[in-house]
């Protein structure tokens, strides 16, 4: 252990749950799970810390909130980094990388701390291609680059960077499993309304499904910059039984997974969505586009069905196949559940995280 026999002190740096997303959810899961390991002592610094009083009001003002939040974030790093042995930094791409991970990496190295960069964005290839001239030198300062999929290991290797995979995980005990032997046309999608997730493709696929199965329903979970566009598309297509659930807390998602019988996912770019492994755990059949790292998670025809990016017709046909082909949904979900137990439980990743921290923690003086 670091120092003497005391626990390894870890600072997790990542987004808070103020805005729901995969990074925030995994950061919270890791924080809670690390607390169960006596050899580790985790703390947390939000990249978007909520501020009290007047400062909190300033966080509601466009542009001003970026400056105020960044100052508060940097202040939190300056206080917390000196107290730990390892700084574990969650990372996305582009400006998010500049505002969050980059200053944390630089400050941690200046203070002589070990750094884990936990890079999680499906936009990594474009980020490292277009922004690599300044991103790569900062990334190379990390003592370890950890990514949640073999897909990102390959992306980083193409850019001359060595990354190691530690997969996302779910708490299987809190997600009820239900085998869908006779799936109903109850469809769920829960990606935020942003261009890269192409929720419009899901809506168009649902229109095709509803033409063949008039009582089909669609629940859309999420929010984002394209919210009004998606609502207008639903109206334009004359769709019925489309429910906009808004942002839903992780604990509430288990109920929505259990209520649905088909999961639709149509991103243009992706890495390792938490929602897919949560569907594995819940027994919810997956129909998805084959964007980015998704084929590294979902084996087409074995643990889900994959179609080309942007093809709403193929997405609809695959969903109809799940609904109509006897035994298919059951076979897909049984294989997916077995994969969740083998690869995506806390038990399957705990030792790798612990070994990484022991490898990086400074030797006893």
Token pair, residue 132, equals 């690599």
* pLDDT value, residue 239: 96
Q: pTM of the prediction?
A: 0.86
* pLDDT value, residue 1: 43
* pLDDT value, residue 2: 44
Nearest to 48 by CA among 73, 24, 11, 79: 73
* pLDDT value, residue 334: 94
* pLDDT value, residue 209: 98
Which CA distances in Å does 332 have to 145, 242, 266? 33, 26, 18
- Name all domains of the chain by residue range, CATH numbers in brackets: 8-169+345-360 (3.40.50.2000), 172-343 (3.40.50.2000)
Ranges of residues in the chain with a pLDDT under 70 are: 1-4, 19-20, 52-64, 362-365
Which CA distances in Å does 145 have to 114, 138, 215, 257? 12, 12, 48, 32
Q: Which residues of 2-20 are buried (b: 16+ CB within 10 A; e: fewer)?
A: beeeebbbbbbbbbbeeeb
* pLDDT value, residue 252: 87
Token pair, residue 146, equals 């950890």
Q: How far apart are the C-alpha atoms of 258 and 166, rounded to whole Å? A: 27
* pLDDT value, residue 365: 42
Nearest to 101 by CA among 140, 53, 58: 140
pLDDT digits (tens, 9 = 90+) for 8-29: 999 999 998 776 677 888 899 9
* pLDDT value, residue 63: 60
pLDDT digits (tens, 9 = 90+) for 151-171: 999 999 999 999 999 999 988
């Amino acid at each position: 252990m670091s120092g003497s026999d005391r626990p390894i002190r870890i600072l997790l740096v990542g987004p808070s749950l103020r805005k729901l997303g995969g990074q925030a959810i995994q950061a919270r899961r890791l924080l809670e799970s690390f607390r169960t390991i006596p050899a580790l002592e985790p703390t947390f610094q939000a990249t978007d810390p909520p501020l009290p009083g007047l400062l909190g009001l300033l966080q509601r003002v466009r542009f001003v909130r970026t400056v105020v939040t960044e100052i508060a974030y940097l202040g939190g790093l300056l206080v917390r980094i000196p107290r730990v042995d390892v700084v574990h930094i969650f990372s996305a791409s582009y400006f998010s990388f500049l505002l969050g991970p980059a200053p944390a990496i630089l400050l941690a190295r200046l203070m002589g701390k070990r750094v884990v960069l936990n890079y999680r964005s499906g936009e990594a290839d474009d980020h490292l291609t277009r922004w690599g001239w300044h991103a790569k030198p900062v990334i190379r300062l990390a003592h370890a680059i950890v990514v949640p999929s073999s897909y990102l290991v390959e992306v980083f290797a193409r850019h001359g960077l060595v990354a190691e995979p530690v997969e996302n995980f779910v708490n299987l005990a809190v997600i009820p499993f239900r085998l869908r032997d006779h799936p109903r046309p109850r469809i769920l999608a829960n990606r935020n309304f942003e261009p890269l997730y192409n929720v419009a493709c899901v809506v168009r696929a649902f229109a095709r499904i509803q033409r063949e199965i008039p009582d089909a329903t669609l629940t859309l979970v999420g929010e984002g910059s394209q919210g009004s566009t998606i609502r207008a598309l639903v109206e334009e297509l004359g769709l019925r039984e489309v429910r906009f659930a808004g942002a839903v807390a992780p604990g509430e998602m288990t109920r929505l997974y259990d209520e649905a019988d088909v999961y639709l996912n149509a991103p243009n770019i992706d890495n390792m969505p938490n929602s897919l492994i949560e569907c594995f755990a819940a027994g919810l059949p997956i129909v998805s586009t084959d964007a980015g790292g998704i084929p590294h998670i979902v084996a087409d025809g074995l643990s889900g069905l994959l179609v080309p990016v942007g093809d709403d017709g193929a997405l609809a046909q695959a969903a109809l196949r799940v609904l109509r082909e006897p035994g298919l949904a059951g076979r897909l979900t049984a294989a997916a559940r077995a994969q969740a137990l083998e690869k995506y439980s806390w038990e399957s990743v705990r030792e790798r995280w612990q070994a990484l921290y022991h490898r990086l923690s400074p030797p006893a003086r």
